[in-house]
């Protein structure tokens, strides 16, 4: 089976919608990388660190979508991802999407 790593880019996320997004993806991926592109620190993001196969990268500023995606890609390639799925923080996926 191919190794699929998902990357979610955050910018001032709504916790309820973000949680639904993560829950819709976590069982379909080998790993999930969350890149927080929010200026300052998004306080509630730390709660997701306890979930299996999730890594959080906090940028502490808004460097733009392309920069945040490149940070996520670099990490996914370090984890030997064969496929990378990008997601916005407010997308909820069906169970068989991946």
The pLDDT, as a whole number, for residue 73 is 94
**What angle is formed at CA 22 by the lines to CA 19 and CA 26, rounded to 5 degrees?**
145
The pLDDT, as a whole number, for residue 2 is 63
Stated pTM of the model? 0.88
Altogether, the residues listed in the chain come to a count of 98
Mean per-residue pLDDT, 56-83: 92
- Single out the residue of 57, 55, 2 nearest to residue 28, CA to CA: 2
The pLDDT, as a whole number, for residue 88 is 87
pLDDT digits (tens, 9 = 90+) for 1-41: 667 788 788 788 788 998 999 999 888 888 899 998 888 87
Task: Output the average pLDDT for the chain.
Answer: 87
């Amino acid at each position: 089976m191919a190794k699929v790593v998902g990357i979610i880019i955050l910018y001032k996320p709504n916790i309820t919608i973000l949680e639904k997004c993560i829950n819709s993806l976590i069982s379909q991926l080998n790993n999930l990388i969350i890149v927080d592109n929010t200026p300052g620190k998004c306080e509630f993001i730390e709660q997701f660190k306890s979930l299996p196969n999730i890594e959080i990268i906090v940028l502490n500023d808004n460097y733009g979508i392309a920069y945040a995606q490149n940070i996520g890609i670099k990490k996914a390639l370090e984890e030997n991802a064969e496929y990378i799925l990008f997601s916005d923080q407010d997308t909820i996926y069906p169970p068989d999407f991946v």
